[in-house]
Chains A and B, each alone.
Chain A
Amino acid sequence: DSGVTQTPKHLITATGQRVTLRCSPRSGDLSVYWYQQSLDQGLQFLIQYYNGEERAKGNILERFSAQQFPDLHSELNLSSLELGDSALYFCASSVRSEGTSGRTDTQYFGPGTRLTVL
């Protein structure tokens, strides 16, 4: 158990709908990352938050948005869903964004939310 929790575990919805995925980081971790794993794209970074502020963005679609709340949990919102959005969505957390000596901290991954768009 990594200490990162994600809900729900599974989500089945229809095209055009909107869903919210939730992530609670490990206790004490300030940084939250979202990743998408699909068959054709592999594991891809979507977005990072650090202590409530957006820190970095990857290839995140405009239909997707995220935020990190004062209690440090994060939500990923996916709207106008398409069949191609079906994927496993992971949240990860780390203590900080940058560590000492220019290193970045270990990221610990949650169990993922499996999204199926029908």
Chain B
Amino acid sequence: GIQVEQSPPDLILQEGANSTLRCNFSDSVNNLQWFHQNPWGQLINLFYIPSGTKQNGRLSATTVATERYSLLYISSSQTTDSGVYFCAVAGGTSYGKLTFGQGTILTVHP
């Protein structure tokens, strides 16, 4: 099956800093989503981005499908950005079955 690798595994920032999270995947995809899991365990949709670039406030994402990677940018980070960021992909005949990466644990200090 498709493999998903996220980096870095951990990231510690001061409030106001910018960061880039990376997601590499091993095959062509027909779905790529970025999620934020908050401290209460809830998985929050950030982006549906199998290709191209999207922006939503301080967050933006870019997927280069031909090179099999996606980037999530967080600008002017806030303490509420802390949590785990997951990249998940579906590919081939997976009928939407999402394969998740191991996540990036982000901690933003005030």
Contact = CB atoms under 8 A, between A and B. Distances in A.
Contacts, number: 68
B97 interface: yes
A50 B94 CA distance: 13
Nearest to B100: A43
A109 B44 CA distance: 7
A22 B14 CA distance: 40
B48 A58 contact: no
B73 interface: no
B33 to A, nearest CB: 7
Interface size class, chain A: 20 to 34
Contacts of B100: 42-44
A99 B94 CA distance: 13
Residue of A31, A45, A58, A102 with most partner-chain B CB within 10 A: A45
Contact of A114 (B31, B41, B97): B41
Interface in A62-118: 88, 90, 92, 94, 97-98, 102-109, 111-112, 114
Contact of A107 (B41, B42, B50, B98): B98
A97 B95 contact: yes
Interface string B51-65: 000000000000000
A45 B95 contact: no
Interface of B: 30-31, 33, 35, 41-45, 48, 50, 86, 88, 90, 94-100, 102-103
Given A106-B33, A109-B35, 14 more contacts: A35-B98, A43-B88, A45-B99, A97-B96, A102-B30, A104-B94, A105-B96, A106-B31, A106-B45, A107-B31, A107-B33, A108-B45, A109-B42, A112-B43
9 contacts: A42-B103, A43-B86, A55-B96, A56-B95, A97-B96, A98-B96, A107-B98, A109-B35, A111-B41
